[in-house]
Amino acid sequence: GESVGLHLPTLSVQEGDNSIINCAYSNSASDYFIWYKQESGKGPQFIIDIRSNMDKRQGQRVTVLLNKTVKHLSLQIAATQPGDSAVYFCAENWDTGFQKLVFGTGTRLLVSP
């Protein structure tokens, strides 16, 4: 398959474990954040988003936490499945009102059966 990144940090977990993927963002003025999942050969797939006026948001099996004090985002995946194996990117919106996303470098999640 196509290589998304050659030297990505990797998180290896067992099926059924909970996974936590962390991201440090750069712009304290960013007010909108998104997590994407990218599988080999595909484009990034939207997972969940959060505005800066929130600390936490939950979706189906996923939770995003935002700590503006230290400019930190995390994505928690409950009961991780082999299908969750992918590269995960956080993105911040630098331009108020427009979608000009700045992406993190990504984390590769490997889920073993």
| Pairwise CA distance, residues 98 & 7, whole Å | 31
Nearest residue (CB) to another protein, 48 versus 110: 48
CB 55 within 8 A of CB 65: yes
Q: Which of 1, 60, 69, 99 forms a contact with another protein (CB under 8 A)?
A: 99
Q: Which of 4, 13, 62, 110 forms a contact with another protein (CB under 8 A)?
A: 4
- Binding residue count for another protein, defined by CB under 8 A: 31
82 phi, psi to nearest 5 deg: -55, -30
Count of CB atoms situated within 10 Å of the CB of 72: 14
Q: What is the DSSP letter of 61?
A: S
Using CB under 8 A as the binding rule, the residues of this chain from 20 to 79 that contact another protein are: 31-32, 34, 36, 41-46, 49, 51
- List contacts with another protein (CB under 8 A): 2-6, 31-32, 34, 36, 41-46, 49, 51, 89, 91, 93, 95, 97-106
